[in-house]
Chains A and B, each alone.
Chain A
Amino acid sequence: MSEMLGSNGVQIQLEAPPLAYVRPTEDPGTMNGPEDVAIQITDLDAFYGKRRVVRDVSLGVRRNAITAIIGPSGSGKSTLLRCMDRMHEIIPGARVTGTISYRGTDIYGPDVDPAAVRRSIGMVFQQPNPFPTMSIADNVAAPARFNGLVRGRQAERDLVERCLSQAALWDEVKDKLSHGGTSLSGGQQQRLCIARSLALEPDVLLMDEPCSALDPVATLQVEQLMFDLKSRYTIVIVTHNMQQASRVSDRTAFLTMGEDRAGFLVEEGPTVNVFTAPREQLTEDYISGRFG
């Protein structure tokens, strides 16, 4: 556990290749011990200037599972997610206190390079955001270029094919790789963005309402893709859609907004339990549609 919290001062290399933690026989909904935790959030507060938007969140994110973060608008779901790959701080005045431990290192520690964190913890946004001036292939290869990971045309072609296949998009686009990334449909664009994130071989994928701009068919495709990916990746998805949370996730974290208008964690547990037998009254009220 000490390694998880990073308190022993050991600097684990964030660039290390993704570890294969495939344990298909076990239920990804249950958390058996610290070895099941991919990201440990401890006493996290997040601020925009003086305003606190997330209060005192402690949460272990289950490895190789899909964790859904649900809650009403303004409960800090997206902010919490953005804290996990240090994207919160790019907004001027935004800051974080507390620790987020990943591979034994506090990602907010003094020697940590945010870019290195973001290479290992990928992010998919609410709106599909492929680079509009790049082709489909270049979109997928772009992150490798940012980080100098791939050299040579053949290596790049292989990378593009592998990532697009993983994102279940290869068959649809293999004949038009040189077309613009924004020529695709919304759902295809979102899968292109997922493929682009996979190009860095992250082991965590953060998804911020990835389906809210998509039609139902495209939503199902992305959800199917998440199922396919979870054996290799740890996935955290923010969603305002409770059906989606109950459909796709193994574990669910419920956030709500307190009197001080800061979001806090009400409970986290196996999705089945949170939806059918929540421990907290607040959760039950939200699940049953009494507020939010």
Chain B
Amino acid sequence: MTVHRETPSSESLVRQDLRRGRRITGDTLFRLACGSAVVVALAVIGLMVYDSVTTTFPVVRQFGIWGFVTGTRWAPSFAIYGALPFIYGTILTSVIAIVLAVPIALGIALMVTEVLPARLAGPVAILVDLLAAVPSVVWGLWGLLVLVPFLRPIEKAIAGSAGQVIPFLAPPTPGPSYFAAGVIVAFMIIPIIAAVTREVFAATPRLQREAVLALGGTRWDVIRDVVIPIGRTGLLAAVILGLGRAIGETIAVTLVIGNAPKIAASIFAPGFTLASVIANEFNEATETLHPEALISLGVVLLAIAVLINGVGLLIRRRFELAAGRAR
């Protein structure tokens, strides 16, 4: 059966194709739209950094960069501003949060991808993801009203025993503390770390899992020798992501950390973080240089965030190089 149809000759088709040069095509519009979005985003970031950094100049003139960053005293009524208590608080709470969150998130991710049957894994994953949807201020209130009173006897017991020898765990235990803030932030970053880690683990090649099983290996062998080693770069990315959120966490931390601009050796002492002091004091910052000093703290926070991401990137590249050599 043959169908006769009016078709343009092949020659004219070619000519049409070649001639579409000068018109404004969808491609050009799309490129313009994307390009301007990029320009706007970069401009906003640039403006923010410029504005913040120039605002720090009076503070830098007064104390010097090093003097400000290492200054241990924060006394707005005397116009003395040192950032170290907040840097210390930020790092300490973040470290506590990461130390608590990573093993739990790893366990959740392994549970969901390797252990639970698909029927249960889905709902569990969704429940954990839902934790990420709880607003920061709700975490903070829950922390203040439920978690801090709950932790206090535990803190007291630890401080009363191990704390007698280790200054890091020493009493007193007033309740609001670096530790309480670290625990709250841990809750908040578990879903992020678990979700990213879960995706990484789920992407483990089936052939690699089967290789272990076919060699008489167990599920644990699969996890230890295939899932974790192959996913380690992704795991690191997940931790960096969690750390990024931990150092910037504001409201929840403000509610449970005790808001004391001091450096205390014990994790059970009240403290302050960069983000929480800005949120807490900016509204009433009327003293000399006080707003400028708070903005300077913001710049320090930004620098720490950039540093952490940079280090993460470096470690990741090293890992990838090592994996590349292995390949």
Partners in one complex: yes
- Which A residues contact B (CB, under 8 angstroms)? 85, 87, 90, 92, 115-116, 118-119, 122-123, 125, 127, 129-135, 142-143, 146-147, 179-183, 193, 196-197, 199-200
CB-based contact A183/B215 at 8 Å: no
Question: What number of B residues sit within 8 Å (CB to CB) of A?
Answer: 24
CB-based contact A146/B217 at 8 Å: yes
A183 to B324, CA, bound (A): 9
CB-based contact A183/B216 at 8 Å: no
**Lowest 10 A-B CB distances belong to which pairs?**
A180-B326, A119-B216, A133-B229, A143-B215, A146-B217, A123-B214, A129-B207, A146-B221, A182-B327, A118-B216
Closest to B229 in A: A133
CB-based contact B326/A132 at 8 Å: yes
A-B contact pairs, 30 of them (CB 8 A): A85-B214, A87-B210, A87-B214, A90-B213, A92-B118, A115-B216, A115-B217, A118-B214, A122-B215, A129-B210, A131-B208, A131-B211, A131-B225, A132-B323, A133-B229, A133-B323, A142-B212, A142-B215, A146-B218, A146-B225, A147-B216, A147-B217, A179-B325, A179-B326, A181-B326, A183-B325, A193-B211, A199-B215, A200-B215, A200-B216
Instruction: Say if the beta carbon of B289 comes within 8 Å of chain A.
Output: no
A146 to B212, CA, bound (A): 8
Instruction: Say if the beta carbon of B131 comes within 8 Å of chain A.
Output: no
A240 to B225, CA, bound (A): 32
A142 to B232, CA, bound (A): 19
CB-based contact B211/A125 at 8 Å: yes
What residues on A are CB-neighbors of B260 within 8 Å? none
What residues on A are CB-neighbors of B226 within 8 Å? 131
B residues 196-210 in Cβ contact with A at 8 Å: 205, 207-208, 210
B214 to chain A, nearest CB (A): 4
Q: How many A-B contacts if CB must be within 8 Å?
A: 87
B226 to chain A, nearest CB (A): 7
A130 to B205, CA, bound (A): 12
What residues on A are CB-neighbors of B215 within 8 Å? 118-119, 122, 142-143, 146-147, 196-197, 199-200
Instruction: Say if the beta carbon of B230 comes within 8 Å of chain A.
Output: yes
Closest to A181 in B: B326
Given contacts A90-B210, A125-B211, contact A132 B327 (CB under 8 A): yes
A87 to B216, CA, bound (A): 10
A181 to B208, CA, bound (A): 13
- Which B residues contact A (CB, under 8 angstroms)? 117-118, 205, 207-208, 210-218, 221, 225-226, 229-230, 232, 323, 325-327
A133 to B218, CA, bound (A): 18
Closest to A149 in B: B216
A200 to B205, CA, bound (A): 23
What residues on A are CB-neighbors of B232 within 8 Å? 133
Given contacts A132-B326, A183-B327, contact A116 B207 (CB under 8 A): no
Most buried by B among A119, A132, A199, A200: A132
What residues on A are CB-neighbors of B323 within 8 Å? 132-133
A122 to B215, CA, bound (A): 7
What residues on A are CB-neighbors of B210 within 8 Å? 87, 90, 125, 129
What residues on A are CB-neighbors of B216 within 8 Å? 115-116, 118-119, 143, 146-147, 200
Closest to B119 in A: A92
A125 to B210, CA, bound (A): 9
CB-based contact A125/B207 at 8 Å: yes
What residues on B are CB-neighbors of A129 within 8 Å? 205, 207-208, 210-211
Closest to B324 in A: A180
What residues on A are CB-neighbors of B218 within 8 Å? 115, 146
A73 to chain B, nearest CB (A): 19
A147 to B213, CA, bound (A): 11
A116 to chain B, nearest CB (A): 7
Closest to A15 in B: B216
What 4 additional pairs, Cβ within 8 angstroms, besides A87-B213, A147-B216, A179-B326?
A: A115-B218, A125-B211, A135-B326, A146-B218
Selected from B214, B217, B221, B230, the residue in CB contact (under 8 A) with A132 is B230
What residues on B are CB-neighbors of A147 within 8 Å? 215-217
